[in-house]
Amino acid sequence: MTPLNDETDHRPLTLRDVSEASGVSEMTVSRVLRNRGDVSDSTRQRVLETAKRLGYVPNKIAGALASQRVNLVAVIIPSMSNMVFPEVMTGISAVLDETPLQPVVGLTHYKPEREEAVLYEMLSWRPSGVIIAGLEHTDASRAMLRGAGIPIVEIMDTDGEPQDAVVGISHRRAGREMARAIIAQGYRRIGFLGTKMPLDHRARKRFEGFTEALAKEGIEVTDQEFYEGGSALKKGREMTETILTRSPNLDFLYYSNDMIGAGGLLYCLDQGIDVPGRIGLAAFNGVELLDGLPRQLATMDACRAEIGRKAAEIIARRALDAGGEPPPDRIVLTPTLSFGDTLRR
């Protein structure tokens, strides 16, 4: 039996090694390993056995260069630490797992210049498609996206002009609808609690839609409070205490995300504040975590997994030019408002 890859020799095995060890041409070995073209059963067996015995791992770099095909999909998102993007990833993976395509993630931390760098880096690997969060990008990023010549799907947000395809929800509308629901229930002195992130365009648009709908009813946000860093749950508690101390007459608190909303809810329960009688609460995202809280927080789901799925489908269809109806280039999902136990009705 031919010895296994010699431990002292650290040159990785090549197709040629398998070819020589099995007495078959490199080309045929390549065909076997990719299940391409006709190969007799006997040679196929021999090649597979040899490749396995030697521990051959194909070199995708060479393969990609020769075939001009890279089965990678660049996924560019702000962060993995809040619960929203992991769920988007789940949706993307669920779809791509059925294809030869593979997601590769790059993180921007909500910084446009980092997004630009990450995009450049990923495009230099010549992926089959790009899924990127948001519609706001630097000029250079937009130029790269346009020039890449591959399918691009911008996700999460539909309030703006996409470069190519887009899948998401309207955050302005989400903010407006929440405001309307709050007003309809008779709340009038409304506080807003959010993150200090001027570059989180989705949160900004929700807030804009929110204030816009309030303004239509002649109402203004009574007080606001912002945070950055740290445990969002804890910050939610602290901010709630701060804002209620400063503006004790507030009768509603709208949080820009569920985690701080959950903190606020726990704080109110601790303090024995009557929710939603004395004060109502609502947030945004619809994260699973909320299920475990003592009360259900009012929220609006962001359709995260669905966005991931749809985006991946667009990439898959276009990159693999699978037959059938091509998916539309613009998919606007509709978030549902859950009243939970913290928004009376």
Partner DNA sequence: ATGAAAGCGCTAACAC
Partner DNA sequence: GTGTTAGCGCTTTCAT
1, 3, 66, 248: residue in contact with DNA (rule CB under 7 A): 66
Residue 7 sits in the site that holds a copy of itself (CB under 8 A): yes
Question: Is residue 117 a contact point for a copy of itself (CB under 8 A)?
Answer: no
Pairing of strands 299-300, 337-338: antiparallel
Residue 305 interaction partner, one of a copy of itself, DNA, none, beta carbon < 5-8 Å per kind: none
Kindly give the pairing relationship between strand 129-133 and strand 72-77: parallel
Q: Which does 8 bind (CB under 5 to 8 A by kind): a copy of itself, DNA, none?
A: none
* CA–CA dist 166, 173 (Å, integer): 17
DSSP 324-337: SPPPPSEEE--PPE
Q: Which does 166 bind (CB under 5 to 8 A by kind): a copy of itself, DNA, none?
A: none
317 touching a copy of itself, by CB under 8 A: no
- Within positions 147 to 206, which residues make up the interface with a copy of itself, using CB under 8 A? 147-149
- Site residues (CB under 7 A) for DNA, limited to 22-61: 24-28, 30-31, 33-34, 36-40, 42-44, 58-59
Give min distance, CB of 291 to a copy of itself, in A.
4
At position 16, the amino acid (one-letter code) is R
Lay out the site mask for a copy of itself across 32-71 (x = CB under 8 A, - = otherwise): -----------------------x-xxxxxx-xx----x-
Q: Quick one: CA torsion of 87, 89, 91, 95, rounded to 10 degrees?
A: -170
* Residues 195 and 230: beta-carbon distance below 8 Å: no
Least CB distance to a copy of itself at residue 158 (A): 24
Nearest-10 Cα torsion for 273, 275, 280, 281: 90
- State the binding partner of 184 from DNA, a copy of itself, none, CB within 5 to 8 A by kind: none
27 binds, among DNA, a copy of itself, none (CB under 5 to 8 A by kind): DNA
Q: Which amino acid is present at 295?
A: R
| DSSP, residue by residue, 193-249 | EEES-TT-HHHHHHHHHHHHHHHHTT----EEEEE-SS-HHHHHHHHHHHHHHH-TT
Handedness of CA 313, 173, 142, 132 (dihedral sign): negative
Q: What is the dihedral of CA 252, 257, 260, 265, to 10 degrees?
A: 40
| Shortest CB 178 distance to DNA, Å | 49
Query: Could you say which of 291, 321, 323, 324 contacts a copy of itself (CB under 8 A)?
Result: 291
Which residues sit at the interface with a copy of itself, rule CB under 8 A?
4-5, 7, 10-12, 55, 57-62, 64-65, 70, 80-81, 86, 89-90, 93, 102, 104-105, 107, 120-121, 123-126, 143-144, 146-149, 230-237, 262-263, 266, 270, 288-289, 291-294
Which residues sit at the interface with DNA, rule CB under 7 A?
11-16, 24-28, 30-31, 33-34, 36-40, 42-44, 58-59, 62-63, 65-69
